[in-house]
Amino acid sequence: MTVRALYSYTSAESDEISFTEGDTIIDCEHIDAGWMLGRHPVTGKQ
């Protein structure tokens, strides 16, 4: 699944990624209520 960020987010933990509004996040899957696992295609971070 691919998603587009509605808001910017600055990571608070080492296992999170930062992104800006409008960024596309790829290879997404739901892992917990309100959280997803995905990869930022520009930075490669997951």
pLDDT 10s digits, 20-45: 999 999 999 999 888 899 999 999 99
Q: pTM here?
A: 0.79
Instruction: With cut-offs at 50, 70 and 90, classify the pLDDT of residue 9.
Output: very high
- Residue 13: name the closest of 45, 3, 1 by CA: 45
- Residue owning tokens 């930022």: 40
pLDDT of residue 30: 92
pLDDT of residue 32: 87
pLDDT of residue 34: 82
The set of residues, in sequence order, having a beta carbon less than 8 Å from that of 23 and lying 6+ positions away, is: 4, 5, 40, 42
| Biggest alpha carbon–alpha carbon distance for the chain | 26
Q: Assess whether pLDDT exceeds 90 at residue 17.
A: yes
Rounded to the nearest 10°, the torsion over CA 28, 41, 17, 22 is -90
> Is 3 in contact with 38 (CB distance < 8 Å)?
yes
Full set of structural domains in the chain with CATH: 3-39 (2.30.30.40)
